[in-house]
Structures are given as C-alpha cells and as structure tokens.
Structure 1
Amino acid sequence: MDTFSQLILAISVTSFLGFQWLFHRASPWVSTRISPGFDVLSDKQKVEWNSRTVSTLHALLVGLFCLYILFFDDLVNEDPVWGDPTLVKINVAITTGYLISDLLLIFYYWKAIGDKFFVLHHLAALYAYYYVLGQGTLPYFANFRLLAEFSTPCVNQRWFFEVLGYPRASRSNMANGVAMAAVFFAVRIAVMPVYYGRMWAVYGTAAYYLVPWGGRVAWIGSSICLDIMNVMWMHKIARGCSRVLRAGKQGQQVHGLKPQLPHPPPQENGKKD
C-alpha cells in the first residue's frame, strides 16, 4: 500500500472514530447546554437527536469541501472520469468513515433509528465509493453527488423543531421549511442538467470504457435511481412547504399578527422523517 493510500485509510478510520465520539460524547454534552428540552426527551429521541446532530455536522463539513473542489480543482473539472482524485478521495474518505459509523449506530440502536432504506443507501454509497477510493475513477461525479449533503441540515432542523413541540406555523418552522425546499431544489433538482450533461459528454468515450463495468453500473444506475427519488421527495417537500405557508398566512389573518416564536415545553411526538 502506497503512502497516499495509507493516508486515505487513516482519514477514514479517524473519521469513523471522530463521528462516534461526536455521537456518544460531544452531542449529548453540548445539547444539554444549548437546548433545555434535550434532557426531557425519551431515550429513543435522544438517540435520534444525537444521530441527526452528527449528520448535520458531517453534511456541512463535506459539503463545504465539495464546493471548494467544484470551484477550484481544475484537474477534476477538466477530466471528470480520470482527473487527479486527491482532494476528492480525502472528502470521500471522510464520508466513508461517517457512513460506516452511522451503519454501526443504526444496527445497534435499531429500535430508535433503524431504517432499511438508510441501510441500503449507505451500502450502495460505500459500493460506489470503492471505485473512487480504490481505483481513483469518476472523481468529478462522486464529488458532485456530495452537493446533496447541503439539504441535510434543514431536514434535520425540521425534526428538531417537531420533537421540541414547535408549531408548524411558527415563524422559525416556516423559515426553515422554505429554506429546506429551496436548498433541496438547488442541490438535488436544479443541478441535474449539469450533472447529466457532463455524463453524456463522456459517455462512449475512451475514458468511459476504461471504467470497470461495476463502476459504470454504480455510477449510472445509482444516479438514475437516486434522482427519481429526489424528484419524488421534492414533490412532497413542496407540498408540505405550501401547507405550512398557507397555515401561517391563515394564522396571521385570524389573529391579526405574525406568528411568534414558540416557547412550549418539549413534547414526545414520535415523529420521524
């Protein structure tokens, strides 16, 4: 194993250990100090709270790194199939450590956060990342897919508001709902023409046929399946956002004022995304 491969392995292991520490130690410690409602949540809700906190931190870290690569890594942008994958490998190694960490937590706390869809999603992602980390192929497309992580913080924040008992028509919930719909559309729907345009540009070229058959399946097949789901999710998010905005508008008309920030005691509602 060459020196850089050892570095990538070390980053993945460090990422795994770091996200485990964030889940078990950092998130509970910080949450009790910034959110009084955390202490009265059920054990299952605390598990999901910590899981979503870690998920948000991973999304911001990887998403910002992804943007840097997208705008400043010329080698990857010029050759999307075989461009120098150094920075992309580092970013994917961080995500790989997170996915393995999250899989372990999902299985261990199955009654609280177990979800067959997320297991399949994580395993499919790890399979695709094997070709990036192991063979250095498709760095542009792997990095571009990580843009979708930017929608995660708003989705998680929606759950935080719900579990703390914030009314859906509250100003904070409405603002987050609009942001969630806008960001989801921007990083998962609006980017599709760019993504598939680059895919079409390299399809059938010599560089394309150098990619192993399994890598092409992981690349094209997973992209199409994921984007079908993204369109379905976007439809649901848009409908939900529309309902919340209508409820907020009706509340203003009835009470003659804007919704105020709520201060109710935390509730257990058992709701999940």
Structure 2
Amino acid sequence: MCPVFVAWGRFPVFDVGFGYGLDASLILVVFHTYDFTRFISSFYFKRYASLSKMQKIEWNNRGMSTVHAVFITFMSSYLVFFSGLFSDQQDGPVTFRSSSLSNFTLGVSVGYFITDLAMILWLYPSLGGMEYVVHHILSLISVMYAMLSEEGQLYAYMSLISEATTPGINLRWFLDVAGMKRSKAYLFNGVAMFVTWLVARIILFMYLFYQIFLHYDQIKQMETFGYLLVSVAPTVLFVMNLMWFSKILRGLKKTLAKRH
C-alpha cells in the first residue's frame, strides 16, 4: 500500500492539540511501500538477489522515498502554482490558507518523514549521516506544524517541491549498485541531477525567500513558533542545499572529465 494512505489515519490514539488525532499505528502503513518495492525488485531485477542485506534495505528504502517524492512534488506544484489556493487574488492573508486537500497532502509527508527518520536512526549511519537527520527533523517539524495549525502552508509546500530531486538521487544509487557507473544513463542522470537541484533547491528557494519578504507583514501575524519556523527553517535547508549542490557539481565535473 502506498504511503499516501497514511494521511487517512485520524483515529484519536493521541491528540496533539490542534484538533487532529494521529493514529501512530497507521504510520506503519508506509512500510507497505517498502515491502512492495522488495516484492517487485525480487521478481524484475536479477541484481537484487545478489545484494547484501544492507543494500537490500537501502534499495527498498529508496523505492519508498521515490514514491513519496513523485507524489509530493506533483501535489505541491499543483497547490502552489495551479490550484489558486495561495493566489494573491484570494481574500485574506496567504499565511492562513488551507484546504482538506492541502491538509491531506501534508499528512502524507508527515507519515513518510516519521517512518524514514525512524529507519535512518535505527540503522544509523547506514542510510544517511547527521545531515539527513537534521534535514528530516526540520522538515518533519515544519510540515507537521503547517498541517496541524493550518498556518504557513504555502512555504511548506514550496519547500516540499525540492523533493523533485529525490528520484534522480535514488536512480543514481540504483545505477551504481547495478554496476552501470560507466553507462550513458549514469552520465545523463548526473546532468539531470544538476539541473533539477539547481531549479528545485536553489532557484525555487530564492523565490521562496521573495515570497516571505513579500508577505512578511502577514507572517508576523502567525503564532510565534510558526513565525520562527518560516524565518529559520528555509534558511537552514537552503544552506544545506548549497552544500549538497557543491558536491553534485564537483561530482559532475569529475564524471565529465573522465568521459573526456
């Protein structure tokens, strides 16, 4: 079962104080995507059977993150640019706008980030170092706050569009494990990673900062915690994006130099 179904879980196992009950047991539904990846891979990828136990875990984990990335990129782009929910032509502050669809979509990411963070911590550092932990904790807090308080959802969604880079990153790992580092697909993947990262994690974040500046008077009306999140979280994520982007650029230069 796809992790999008996590957001349907509103049973009152515990109440976090914003009117939403979160059923902790339904977070486990996300693992069905993990299991589905394992099932498909065992049948259609001959290389999968020869992987080590840790490689299989990471393979399945990356399949799970790819499903989330495709879903959340599509939905975030729609809500920000096409739905009209955050249009300046709408009445009222943009910082307090939400809908049942926007809340549902954020719930998907809450379920994913909780599950993936738990796996990263449980298997630390095999699935990612401290930078992944910081990224996931900051993203989880921001997305959960936006969902539960229904404040600042525009900025949460603009940040989530950066998940567009995840499929390319995962594909690069798959190609590496499959022994295809010298293939044209690996080279094209590197170029695509560079372009998508530049657009989704650098240029788009600059546009996000412009939107924060444009609606700063409305942001100041938010609760103190929400105001701090909007002020701090995008900046921290942008700095991390720049650091990762420099690594991608160096890797691409190295790959192109070898090809030449």
TM-score when normalising by structure 2: 0.84
1:194 paired residue number = 207
1:82-137 Cα shifts (integer Å, max 9, x gaps): 12343322111000001111122223333642533322322222221232122110
After superposition, the Cα gap between the structure-2 partners of 1:108 and 1:140, relative to the gap in structure 1 and judged at 3 Å, is same
User: Residues 116-195 of structure 1: matches in 2 within 5 Å?
Assistant: 116-167=130-181, 169-195=182-208
Q: Distance in 1 between matches of 2:162 and 2:124?
A: 25
After superposition, the Cα gap between the structure-2 partners of 1:138 and 1:13, relative to the gap in structure 1 and judged at 3 Å, is farther
1:63 aligns with 2:73: yes
| Structure 1 residue 12 displacement after superposition | 8.4
1:7-34 Cα shifts (integer Å, max 9, x gaps): 87579865x33321121x2111101122
Aligned with residue 37 of structure 2, among 27, 30, 38:
27
The structure showing larger relative contact order (alpha-carbon pairs under 8 Å, at least 6 residues apart) is 1
Q: What runs of 5+ residues in structure 1 fail to find an aligned partner? A: 251-273
Q: What runs of 5+ residues in structure 2 fail to find an aligned partner? A: 1-7, 12-19
Deviates more, 1:226-235 or 1:115-124: 115-124
After superposition, the Cα gap between the structure-2 partners of 1:129 and 1:171, relative to the gap in structure 1 and judged at 3 Å, is same
SS at match of 1:210: coil
After superposition, the Cα gap between the structure-2 partners of 1:139 and 1:5, relative to the gap in structure 1 and judged at 3 Å, is farther
TM-score when normalising by structure 1: 0.81
1:231 paired residue number = 242
Aligned with residue 243 of structure 1, among 218, 241, 254:
254
Aligned with residue 47 of structure 1, among 17, 37, 57:
57
1:204-261 Cα shifts (integer Å, max 9, x gaps): x1x222211111221211111111111121122112112212222x3xxxxxxxxxxx
Matching residue's letter, 1:185 = L
Instruction: Calculate the aligned-residue CA RMSD, in Å.
Output: 2.3
| Structure 1 residue 62 displacement after superposition | 0.9
Q: Distance in 2 between matches of 1:118 and 1:135?
A: 25
Q: Distance in 2 between matches of 1:111 and 1:124?
A: 18
| Structure 1 residue 38 displacement after superposition | 0.6
Report if aligned partners of 2:9, 2:23 keep a CA contact under 8 Å in 1.
Answer: no
Q: Distance in 1 between matches of 2:118 and 2:107?
A: 17
Deviates more, 1:140-149 or 1:189-198: 189-198
| Structure 1 residue 5 displacement after superposition | 9.8
Q: Distance in 2 between matches of 1:192 and 1:128?
A: 15
After superposition, the Cα gap between the structure-2 partners of 1:43 and 1:111, relative to the gap in structure 1 and judged at 3 Å, is farther
**Identity over the aligned pairs, expressed in percent?**
26
Report if aligned partners of 1:76, 1:82 keep a CA contact under 8 Å in 2.
Answer: no
